[in-house]
Amino acid sequence: MSHKVLLDYGSGGRASHRLIRDLFLKHLHSPGLSRLDDAALIQDLSGPLAMSTDTFTIYPLFFPGGDIGSLAVHGTVNDVAMLGAVPKYLSCAFLLEEGLEMHELEKIVRSMALAANNCGVQVITGDTKVVPRGAADRIFINTTGIGRVIADPAPSGSSAEPGDAVLISGTMGDHGLAVLAHRQGMDFETAIISDSRPLNDLTVQLIREVGQIHVFRDPTRGGLATTLNEIALQSALEIIILEDRIPVSQEVQAGCSFLGLDPLYMANEGKFICILPEILADKALKVMRSHTAGKDAALIGHVQEGHRGRVVLRTSLGGQRLLDMLEGEQLPRIC
């Protein structure tokens, strides 16, 4: 193979087949993918299923704590997990720019394989397109995930109830700030690392050991503030959040202050919000804190009747302010 991606590799002809065999199949082998049919055959999924798709355009491709490959796996696996499902299969489509270094592509595919393995999912179908130089920025990846829903009923942003507790699985803003700092070549004293990681192991454990999960939602783009607003709107309830309960690492706090950014609006790629009856909050926190994905979990607020669709932040000084939804794009190409 050439050391750069050529237009021929997306042709569907012999060059494409070489790329599939020598790169994609080499790393992402699974019984489904190896069949090389037009579609993957799924024989072992039944019952309510969750399916999610996401396209990843992150810049830079490699960042502290991950790369576009691992992110493309974690992002979709986590969205399927948020529906109370066990993610099982992924599809994976690559949009490549002519001239992309083959060793970078291989590094990304290897990282996807490792991430898929860690999440317990298999890539069973895929696609590759190559566009001429300048028509895309090196590589974009789309992944679609599917899994069986084991929570009954499935958690939903519209299922929060008055009196519910609002839990968060860990520190806020790590991914957004890590990517931004890396992009701008900023040197903070301590490296800030993306929190990109799978969440399905912990969400499944919560469903099995605690149950009655009303809402799971991962606060990715737009951060905690935007995601809580979505939930408040979907459930037509008010959410009250206590500022000093929200875990934010010292490094992220310092970096955000320096850049004039709010960690509550920064993207996360390895955290989730869990809303459930208050009486189960302690049990859920215990399960979360004993898992690496939830070691900094905290109870940050509650749901109540009141102004529908509103999120109120009670500050450490005793005041309160409305926590609005992010208006536009704070950081383009964050995922």
Distance CA 172, CA 175 (A): 8
Cβ at position 279, least distance to Mg ion in Å: 27
Cβ at position 271, least distance to Mg ion in Å: 11
Segment 110-169, which members bind Mg ion (CB under 5 A)? none
Query: Which of 128, 226 has the CB closer to Mg ion?
Result: 226
Query: Which of 79, 262 has the CB closer to Mg ion?
Result: 79
Q: Which residues contact residue 320 at a Cβ distance below 8 angstroms, ignoring those fewer than 6 apart?
A: 312, 313, 314
Query: Which of 19, 231 has the CB closer to Mg ion?
Result: 231
Cβ at position 55, least distance to Mg ion in Å: 13
Check binding of 269 to Mg ion (CB under 5 A): no
Check binding of 218 to Mg ion (CB under 5 A): yes
Query: Which of 254, 331 has the CB closer to Mg ion?
Result: 331
Query: Which of 52, 128 has the CB closer to Mg ion?
Result: 52
Cβ at position 190, least distance to Mg ion in Å: 28
CA distances from 142 to 9, 42, 90, 179, 281 (A): 18, 20, 10, 20, 35
Stretch of residues binding Mg ion (CB under 5 A), selected from 89-97, 117-125, 213-221, 315-323: 213-221
Q: Which two tokens stand for residue 29?
A: 């082998």
Number of residues near Mg ion (by CB under 5 A): 2
Burial level of 48, CB count in 10 A (0-12/13-18/19+)?
middle
Cβ at position 95, least distance to Mg ion in Å: 22
Which of 67, 79, 251, 269 binds Mg ion (CB under 5 A)? It is 79
Cβ at position 214, least distance to Mg ion in Å: 16
Buried b (16+ CB within 10 A) or exposed e, 285-302: bebbeebebbebbbbbbb
Stretch of residues binding Mg ion (CB under 5 A), selected from 63-71, 139-147, 212-220, 273-281: 212-220
Stretch of residues binding Mg ion (CB under 5 A), selected from 116-124, 190-198, 214-222, 269-277: 214-222
DSSP string of 4-63, one letter each residue: B--GGGGSSSHHHHHHIIIIIHHHH--HHHHT--SS----S--SSEEEEEEEE--SSSEE
Distance CA 98, CA 110 (A): 20
Q: Which two tokens stand for residue 109?
A: 């595919």
Query: Which of 102, 331 has the CB closer to Mg ion?
Result: 331
Residue ranges binding Mg ion (CB under 5 A): 79, 218
